[in-house]
Amino acid sequence: MKILITGSAGFIGSALSISFLKRGDEIIGLDNLNDYYDVSLKKSRLFLKKDYSNYTHYKIDLTDKNKLEELFKKHNPQRVVHLAAQAGVRYSLENPLSYVNNNLVGFINILEACRNNKIDHLVYASSSSVYGANTSLPYSVKQNVDHPLSLYAATKKSNELMAHSYSHLFNIPSTGLRFFTVYGPWDRPDMALQKFTNQIIKGETIKVYNNGNHQRDFTYIDDIVKGIIRVLDKPASPNFKWSSQNPDPSSSKAPWKLYNIGNNKPVKLLDYITSLEKALGIEAKKEFLPIQPGDVPNTWANVNELVENFDYQPKTSVEEGVNKFVSWFRDYYKI
């Protein structure tokens, strides 16, 4: 299969690319290699794919509609996994226009390219942050998500709506995946695990928000990748039982679907930190602080539909996943 992956130098995009390459698919990777975080890490992820003749990379910005269209016409991909976006809840308070340009303008350009090139299936990254003010746990795709608490979350909710309109108007099968706190080797420096690890090793104090009372549905990268592959291989189909009298928010009469993709096992932030301390053999110095603007106290994914439709079974415990991350961190940064 010929697959276009946007954000292919990113954390999830790189791991996903390698899994597809190993099974023999042809991958067209797209990433603008921006400097939101260390570009050398992105280039190192790309270097992992240097020995695969079935990988082609393009440095293109999603806001460049013409170059994007040229790439689609040149390679004619059958399916698209759209992972490129401006990430981060907290950064959206500092630079909101980056989220408008990358997550909204960039996404409409992807939708237009899929429309014009008759793509078989579009799978795109949404986020657990769309649940916002909702406090009913576990989070279900059947629940209302109309109260986002950050601009980042609002752009992800917008992506789901935009995808639905294109699925309805142009019969483009599209599936949105709401990711729940993905972690593991090669993750981003601005994410909690890598940030904490770096600070603990240096003897610095880590900032623990919400006084450590957060719970997160931490999901290991390998489990996420397996789920994405299974979803991409089965294009979304219409729900002909969908009714406007009792609407299902996760499906439609259009070929459009939403799923949570998480571990289904929330872990307290302090327990997560404890696992990291054990893996490092160092006790962290901690500063306890109130919850930050835009953050939600807890996340917990109901993944029943993903299990039923794709036999999705996350298997990696937090202890195992954190140990694998620490081994990678020490090796990559020569510690």
Q: Is 152 a catalytic residue?
A: yes
Nearest-angstrom CA–CA distance, 271 and 263: 16
CATH 3.40.50.720 fits 2-181+220-264+299-315, yes or no: yes
Q: What is the percent of the chain with per-residue pLDDT over 90, rounded to a whole number?
A: 94
Query: Is the model's pLDDT at 296 over the cut of 90?
Result: no
The one catalytic residue in 91, 152, 220, 312 is: 152
Average pLDDT over residues 201-229: 95
Res 91: pLDDT: 85
Taking the model in full, what pTM does it have? 0.96
H-only helix segments in the chain: 11-22, 39-47, 65-75, 91-94, 96-99, 106-116, 151-170, 192-201, 221-232, 269-280, 304-310, 318-332
Give the pLDDT band of residue 245 (cuts 50, 70, 90): very high
* Residue 186 predicted with pLDDT over 90: yes
Does pLDDT of 292 surpass 90?
Answer: no
- CA 54 vs. chain centroid, Å, equals 24
DSSP assignment letter at 185: T
Residue 295 pLDDT: 81
Average pLDDT, the chain: 96
- Rounded to an integer, what distance in angstroms lies between the CA atom of residue 268 and that of residue 298? 9
Return d(Cα 89, Cα 316) in angstroms, integer: 25
CA distance from start to end of the chain: 40
Round to whole Å and give the CA distance between 190 and 205. 16
How far is 229 from 234, CA to CA, in rounded Å? Answer: 9
With a CB cutoff of 8 Å and minimum separation 6, the contacts of 116 are 69, 72
Instruction: Report residue 13's pLDDT band, with 50, 70 and 90 as the boundaries.
Output: very high
| Sequence-separated (6 or more) residues with CB below 8 Å from residue 25 | 1, 2, 3, 54
Length reported for the chain = 335
* DSSP letters spanning 40-102: HHHHHHHHTTTT-TTEEEE---TT-HHHHHHHHHHH--SEEEE------TTHHHH-HHHHIII
268 in Cβ contact with 215 (< 8 Å): yes
Work out the pLDDT band at 92, boundaries 50, 70, 90.
confident
Contact predicate 21/52, CB 8 Å: yes
Name the least confident of 30-34, 87-91, 105-109, 188-192.
Answer: 87-91
Q: How high is the pLDDT of residue 34?
A: 93
User: Rounded to whole angstroms, how far apart are CA atoms 46 and 10?
Assistant: 9
3-state secondary structure 219-249: EEHHHHHHHHHHHHCCCCCCCCCCCCCCCCC
179: which strand partners?
127, 261
- CA-CA distance, 171 to 162, in Å (whole number)? 13
Confidence band for 293, pLDDT divided at 50, 70 and 90:
confident
Residue 164 has which token pair?
């639905």
Using pLDDT thresholds of 50, 70 and 90, give the confidence band for residue 170. very high
What pLDDT does 8 receive?
Answer: 97
- Whole-number pLDDT of residue 88: 83
Instruction: Count Cβ atoms within 10 A of the Cβ of residue 112 and give its class: 0-12 exposed, 13-18 middle, 19 or more buried.
Output: middle
Who's near 233: CB < 8 A, 6+ residues apart? none
Express each pLDDT in 259-281 by its tens digit: 999 999 999 999 999 999 999 99
Q: Are strands 79-82 and 2-6 parallel, antiparallel or unpaired?
A: parallel
Asked if the model's pLDDT at residue 294 lies above 80, the reply is no
Q: What is the pLDDT of residue 212?
A: 87
CA distance 207 to 211: 9
Kindly list the domain boundaries of the chain, sorted by start residue. Answer: 2-181+220-264+299-315
Q: What is the DSSP letter of 36?
A: S
Residue 21 pLDDT > 80: yes
How does pLDDT run across 152-167, given as a tens digit for each residue?
A: 999 999 999 999 999 9
Strands 215-216 and 267-268: antiparallel
